[in-house]
Chains A and B, each alone.
Chain A
Amino acid sequence: MTALDAAWADRWLREAARVLAEHRDELIELDRAIGDGDHGENMDRGFRAVVAKLDESPSESVAAALKLAATTLMSKVGGAAGPLYGTAFLRASIAAGDRTALDGYAVEAVLAAARDGIVARGKAELGDKTMVDAWSPAVDAAGRAADGEAALEAAASAAEEGARATKPLVARKGRASYLGERSAGHLDPGAVSTSYILRAAVTAAVSEILSGEVT
């Protein structure tokens, strides 16, 4: 089992950047249907900038990696996603504190802090068809797992399920909410990008190959 330490946190951010680049066009199309079509472009640009900073120097702690992601996403992403993901990573960084590695309990605390930051900033509730619909079940699932890696796996699976469940919902927050009933029948792009980012955390934990320059 891999320790959820600073090296893991860096691998997580790199894997997230790779997956978001891979799904850039898909996220653009999801957002074009009910928003303004910039989510894929903005997330790709933001995480590319995170990787560029990691290339300069690896993080010294989990908290430092998460904080680097926070400040970079806040300044590079724009739209609603920049401040929301920025706040999520900033709160997660504070929750990680001076731990050298995360256990199951810490994973839940970190994810809960991220989710609470998103809720505080975006003021969305469960069922509003936003990224909260992926984050909230992820936090709940992480709390039921035994160790760190299992908590991440449970969180990622719950986030994927939560993202899929946004399809029939009517949006009550964000630009999609202007569409009212017409927003139903589409996945929420923010919930989908959340599920990719959390799945990347699992991949970074289980795959040693990612520790090299393979990505």
Chain B
Amino acid sequence: MKKLINDPRSVVEESVEGFGMAHADLVEVHLDPLYVTRRGGAVSGKVGLLSGGGSGHEPLHAGFVGQGMLDAAVPGAVFTSPTPDQIVPATQAADGGAGVVHIVKNYTGDVLNFETAAELCQAEGLDVRSVLVNDDVAVEDSLYTAGRRGVAGTVLVEKIAGAAAERGASLDAVESVARRVAQNVRSMGLALTPSTVPHAGKPSFELGDDEIEIGIGIHGEPGRRRVGLEPADALTDHLLTPVLEDLGLASGEKALLLVNGMGGTPISELYIVYRRAAQLLAERGITLERSLVGNYVTSLEMQGCSVTVLRLDEELTALWDAPVRTPALRWGL
């Protein structure tokens, strides 16, 4: 294992500490228990927006704390959900008196810890709503699994719900728009190489030099199937076709396309994937209204990418365009 670390056990704390120092104009880091809030804390009268999950997906979630997006983020251990003793104080710190919405990726651990934390907050009189993100179409049979995983679509939910909250929307309205984004977003990813969790010290699965794993999760879970080496265009088709079919996006509809890097793939390759995905959307008569390309929801040093499509309407487009000022996403401010 070759990594830029000091001690596998202090990877998360040291990284978040550095993150706080680098972006001291935007965020504040609380070390014990570990969570991140906007600089200056909750905005009075505004609905608070909080997300969190295992570390290793940076810039998700702490990178999206700031004006127009999250009020607080709660990092867990690498690929392990945070615990209620972090989530509860972070939720209280995010509350400006109008309630808090939790954005939760659909994994058993995350769901249970956020559910427990929400109950504890509610017992103290704080109104907390939870919105689950489960955009990964690679997990098909939800009746016999823990359900679809939450992956790169999470960043779109956080951006759009954050914009709604910033405009002064009510708790019901922020919850409702977050849910609407979650219902209209789908993703699928692939891996060229596995990732290595620092405290495990070895790759999370084996992948041959001539193999690509399709339908990968973001925690080193293996995917749906393995294929041999294929050109980027063909691989893009493997990802985008099930995404579009599951979303039921029809000719004439508008969409946002996110091509997300898993951490170890150069941006130039992401644009090769983007090029083919845009062609495919055009062939299907879908209008590509907005785009995002880069490393937003990663899986440590994994090489690979995911393709995410969000069905847009006027309201969602306007909220997407609204100003945002966070360490990892910034425009209009």
Residues of A at the B interface (CB closer than 8 Å) are: 32, 36-38, 41-42, 74-80, 82-84, 86-87, 121-122, 170, 172-175, 177-180
Contacts and interface: CB of A to CB of B under 8 A. Distances in A.
A177 B116 contact: no
A180 B138 CA distance: 12
A173 B146 contact: yes
Contacts of B77: 38, 78
B217 interface: yes
Contact of B145 (A38, A74, A76, A180): A180
Contact of B221 (A86, A121, A122, A178): A178
A185 to B, nearest CB: 15
13 contacts: A36-B220, A37-B197, A38-B77, A74-B116, A75-B83, A78-B83, A79-B80, A80-B109, A86-B116, A122-B108, A173-B108, A174-B146, A179-B222
A177 B146 contact: yes
A174 B146 CA distance: 5
Interface of B: 76-77, 79-85, 107-109, 112-113, 115-116, 139, 141, 144-146, 149, 197, 199-200, 217, 219-222
A36 B108 contact: no
A178 B76 contact: no
Task: Tell me if B's interface is mostly helix, strand, loop or mixed.
Answer: loop
A181 to B, nearest CB: 10
A82 B113 contact: yes
Contact of A78 (B82, B144, B149): B82
Contact of B80 (A36, A84, A178, A179): A36
A38 B149 CA distance: 19
Contacts of A75: 83-85
A193 to B, nearest CB: 15
Contacts of B145: 172-173, 177-178, 180
Count chain A CB atoms within 10 A of each CB in B79, B83, B139 and give the residue with the most.
B83
B146 A78 contact: no
Question: When A and B form their complex, which 7 residue pairs have the shortest distance between CB atoms, in order from nearest?
Answer: A75-B85, A83-B112, A177-B145, A79-B109, A80-B108, A80-B109, A83-B116
A177 B107 CA distance: 11
Given A74-B83, A74-B84, A37 B115 contact: no
A84 B111 CA distance: 11
A173 to B, nearest CB: 6
Nearest to B141: A180
Given A36-B79, A78-B81, A175 B107 contact: yes
A78 B76 contact: yes
A111 to B, nearest CB: 21
Given A36-B220, A78-B113, A87-B116, A175 B84 contact: no
Contacts of B115: 83, 121
Contacts of B79: 36, 38
Nearest to A72: B85
Contacts of B109: 78-80, 82-83, 175
Contacts of A79: 80-81, 109, 113
A83 B112 CA distance: 6
Nearest to B142: A177
Nearest to A41: B199
Given A80-B81, A173-B146, A177-B146, 17 more contacts: A32-B200, A38-B79, A38-B80, A42-B80, A74-B83, A75-B84, A77-B83, A78-B76, A78-B81, A78-B113, A79-B80, A82-B83, A121-B112, A170-B144, A175-B219, A179-B221, A180-B141
Nearest to B120: A74
Contacts of A178: 139, 145-146, 149, 217, 221
Contacts of B141: 180
Contacts of A77: 83
B113 A175 contact: no
A202 B254 CA distance: 63
B128 to A, nearest CB: 15
A39 B81 CA distance: 12
B84 A122 contact: no
Contact of B112 (A42, A80, A179): A80
Nearest to B116: A83
Contacts of A170: 144
Nearest to B220: A36
Contacts of B108: 80, 122, 173-175
A87 B113 CA distance: 11
A132 to B, nearest CB: 13
Given A36-B219, A75-B84, A175-B108, A83 B113 contact: yes
